[in-house]
Structures are given as C-alpha cells and as structure tokens.
A and B are shown apart, each in its own frame.
Chain A
Amino acid sequence: MRYMLMVYQDEEEFVAMDPGEVPDDAEPMPWVREMDARGVLKSGNVLRPASDATTVRVRDEETLLSDGPFAESKEQIAGYVIIECQDLDEAIEVASKHPAAGFGTIEVRPFWE
C-alpha cells in the first residue's frame, strides 16, 4: 500500500531556514537513510516556498493563474514523501519518525489504487 506523506510546516520558519544550516533536529537525512534501507521509501522532495507557487484553473476555456498557494494559511506544504507500507499503522510509525513531525504536521494519504 502506497501513501503520500505531505509535510506541512510554518511557512515563515521554512523560508527563514538556510538550506545549508538546517538545525540537527530538522535534518531529514538520517530518516531518509533509515527508511531507504528498510525499503519503505519510494521517492520524495523538498518544495520551494509557497511564495513561489502558481495556481492554475481553466474556466470557460480561459486559463486563470494566480500567484501563491491554493490556500493561504500559516502552515504550508514544504515537501512530500512517497512510502510503501504494510498498512496504516506502519505508515503512521514511519511518519512519526520524520523529523518534521516534531515541529510541523504530516498528513498521511493513501494512494487510490
């Protein structure tokens, strides 16, 4: 069963974070290595801040663009990970070990499959 972990965190803190100097408790690499070794990790990435987002809609054959994320809120998606697990209990365990669970929020969504 595949799940997407959507990592939400405070947008201001995320923007302020220098990619070269991520504090130890936010450093995801040990988690990535652990989950990769376990065979759980399929793919994932860090996303640019919501200020770099563009939303797209087509209405009456017209493409409408707007600057910024779909929903304005304090917490925004900062990254995603795709995992393959036995069941929701394992997915929850994997998500709870992700460093961002300690300061942000992780949404666990099953794939439609």
Chain B
Amino acid sequence: MSAEVEAAVARAFREEWGRVVATLIRTTGDWDLAEECAQGAFERALKTWPRDGVPRSPGAWLTTTARNLARDRLRRRATGAAKLEEVAMLRHNDEDPGRDTEDESGIHDDRLRLIFTCCHPALPLEARVALTLRTLAGLTTAEIARAFLVSEPTMAKRLVRAKAKIRNAAIPYRVPPAHLLPGRTGGVLVVLYLLFNEGYAATSGADLVRERLSAEAIRLARTLVRLMPDEPEALVLLALMLLHDARRAARVDGAGELVTLEEQDRDRWDRDKIREGEDILDAALRLGKVGPYRLQAAIAACHATAASAADDTDWAEIAALYDGWRGKHVLHRHDPGRENSIMDNLEVVRRWKQRSTRR
C-alpha cells in the first residue's frame, strides 16, 4: 500500500472514527454493533482504498459502509418481527449518506450526543474515561488498559459493564436539556481534563499510548468547542491544555527525567501552540462568565509567554491570579452556583491523581 493511502486511512481513523460510531449508535441503538461496524468499515477501507483511490469524502464513505454493514447484520439477526422493524427503521432513518458534508450539523450532533452519554454521571468515573477513549477516540481496549495500568480483561469488563448500564438503565443518548446542561458540561470537561493529565503527567518511559491520551483530549476539546462555541469553559479548557502541551518537548530531558519550569529550554516550547492557546483564552474571556479553569489557563499563559523564568515572568500577575483562585474558592463555599460544580470537578481530578500515584 502506498504511504499516501496509508496516511489517508490513519487520518480518517483519527478524524472520523468517533463520528461513524456516534451515527451508528443513533441509527441502531446498539453500541457493540456500532463499534464492530465502524471497525469493519475501516478494514474495508484498508482493502479498497489502495485499489480504488481515497474517496473524495472519506467520512461519508466510512459512514455509508458502516451503515450497510449494520443493516446486513441486523437483517441476518432479524428473526422476530421486532427485529425486522428495527431494520426498517434503520432504512427509514438513513438520510442519503452520499450527501455528506452539507449535513455537518446532524452528524456533529451525534458526536455531541455520544460525548454526553459517555460522560453521564450515573456511570463510574473510570468507565466514563474508558468509554470516551473507546467510542470517540477509537483506542482499543488493550491500549486503554495499558494507559491506565490495568489488565486487558479488567478494562474489557469495565467497558462491557458501562455499556450494559447504558442499555439496561436507559441512559438517554442525547445532549442534555438546557436545565441540566451546565452541570453535565462540567462533567464532560473533567473527563477531558483527566485524559489530558493522564497523558501529560506520564514521565516514565516514552509510552506512546499515554502520549496519545493528551492528543486525544485536545482533539476532543476542539470538537466540543466547535460544537458548543458559546461555552466559555470548554474554550478555556482547550486553551489550558494547549498552553501546557506547548511545553511538552522541554519537560523531559534525554534521560527521561522531569525538567522544572525554570530550567526548561524555552526555545523548545511550541510557539504556535502558545499563540493559539492565548488567542482561545482571549476569545473565552470575551464571552464573559469565568470559571476556575480560566485562572489556571491564565497562569499557564503567563509562564508560557515569558522568555525566561526569573526575569521575564510576570510574577505579580501570577500571584494575583492565585489570590483570585483562592478567593473564588472561599466565595463559592457560600455560593453554591454553577462554578462550584467545576470546583468539585477539580477536586475529582485531585483525588484521581492521588489514586493514580498510589497505584
């Protein structure tokens, strides 16, 4: 296979996996079937793209192929009338799949539904993280198990249980209604932040799977920002992750040891990422309402834009930001509002980290 086609399949996998799975979950209501058929569609791409060329719109091609696979399987499974009805419904729901890109919004909605369902608070936190990685990012069970230092059967069981609960307890496949949205959005952000931290905090060895967690967290945050452009917290979290990630290359020396912020070679920081992080942070601030991720992001921006640690860092600004953070902490104890739930989320991250270090 030519390197070009191989790269196209890899790119399609990164960009389209979550979308294909999300659409199939909506049309079939069956999470396992959706995953299997998405997998099948990518396998078919590996076979046919080298021969027929990369389709003009890989996402539409993959979705159509996966849908056809799902229809065939459901038909084969269809023994009773109910199953036949399902097949009929699937056909009925099929908006013309050839007409891909114009239908962006519908397809995007499916991914948003999937994010919110994976991060439903009735699922245990570990399962939310694992399910997000499996269904949205397309990591294999083995890869997720490796990233979280558990055995593959343990991780497989965790995923099976989570999917069973979604089905048996009727966790709805939807974006929550307005009155639930703020709390649930905070819950999605905390899962993304956990993913990012799991990947970023890893210093031992160069485990590519863990590195991929940070990349997937950023990718999912970008998706969330595109889908919810008016949600300042999502923007801020994306900025925070970019500003941290920009320093990735300088954080570890040749021997794999952690390098402190003061001693990092600032020439190795990714200037483009820093600039993007700053721009996104500015955009979020223009939207008004601020939460605690904003303070962390602002602190990260101060560090990331200083040419040297001692002389150029705006320490006064950082001190003021930290004060602001603490002030908010106290304030929120008396004001159980929206931001409070985000403080709770940060607390979840802290506890999670403690647990991971004990592991």
Q: Is A26 an interface residue (CB 8 A)?
A: no
> Which residues on the A side are within 8 Å of B122 (C-beta)?
88, 92
Q: Does A25 contact B (CB under 8 A)?
A: no
Q: Is A110 engaged at the interface, CB distance under 8 Å to the other chain?
A: yes
B168 touches A110 (CB 8 A): yes
Q: Which chain B residues in 163-189 approach chain A with CB under 8 Å? A: 168-172, 176, 180
User: What is the CA–CA distance of A110 and B122 in the complex, to the nearest angstrom?
Assistant: 13
Residues in A with CB closer than 8 Å to B180 are 89
Closest B residue to A89 by beta carbon equals B172
In the assembled complex, how far is the CB of residue B168 from the closest CB belonging to chain A, in whole angstroms?
6
Given A89-B180, A92-B122, are A110 and B169 neighbors across the interface (CB < 8 Å)? yes
Q: Which of B120, B170, B172, B176 contacts A110 (CB 8 A)?
A: B170
The count of chain B contact residues (Cβ–Cβ below 8 Å) is 9
Instruction: Give A1's nearest chain B residue, CB to CB.
Output: B170
Closest residue on chain B to residue A111 by CB atoms: B168
- Report the Cα distance A85→B170, complex, angstroms: 10
**Chain A residues within an 8 Å CB radius of B171:** 87-89
Q: Closest Cβ of chain B: how far from A45's Cβ, in Å?
A: 23
- Per-residue interface assignment for chain A, residues 87 to 98, with 1 indicating a CB less than 8 Å from any chain B CB and 0 otherwise: 111001000000
Interfacial chain B residues near A112, Cβ < 8 Å: 168
Query: Which residues of B have CB within 8 Å of A86?
Result: 170, 172
Asked if A87 and B172 make an inter-chain contact with CB atoms under 8 angstroms apart, the answer reads yes
Which residues of chain A are within 8 angstroms of B170 by Cβ–Cβ distance?
1, 85-88, 110
What per-residue 1/0 map shows which CB atoms of A78-113 lie under 8 Å from chain B?
000000011111001000000000000000101010
- Chain A residues with CB below 8 A from B169, complex form: 88, 108, 110
Nearest CB of B to A109, in Å: 8
Q: How far is the CB of B219 from chain A (nearest CB, A)?
A: 27
Contact of B168 with A89 in the complex, beta carbons under 8 Å: no
- Separation in Å of the A111 CB from the closest CB of chain B? 9
A108 CA / B120 CA spacing, docked (Å): 15
Q: How far is the CB of A50 from chain B (nearest CB, A)?
A: 27
Instruction: Report A54-84 residues with CB < 8 Å from chain B CB.
Output: none
Q: In whole angstroms, what is the CA distance A112 to B170 when docked? A: 11
| A108: nearest chain-B partner, CB-CB | B169
Residues of B within 8 A of A108 (CB): 169
Q: B residues touching A (Cβ–Cβ < 8 Å)?
A: 120, 122, 168-172, 176, 180
A sample of 13 cross-chain residue pairs with beta-carbon separation below 8 angstroms, ordered by A number, consists of A85-B170, A86-B170, A86-B172, A87-B171, A87-B172, A88-B122, A88-B171, A88-B172, A89-B171, A89-B172, A92-B122, A108-B169, A112-B168
- Among all A-B residue pairs, the 6 with the closest Cβ atoms: A87-B172, A87-B170, A1-B170, A110-B169, A88-B171, A88-B169
12 A-B pairs besides A86-B172, A87-B170, A110-B169 with CB distance below 8 A are A85-B170, A86-B170, A87-B171, A88-B120, A88-B122, A88-B170, A88-B172, A89-B171, A89-B172, A89-B176, A89-B180, A110-B168
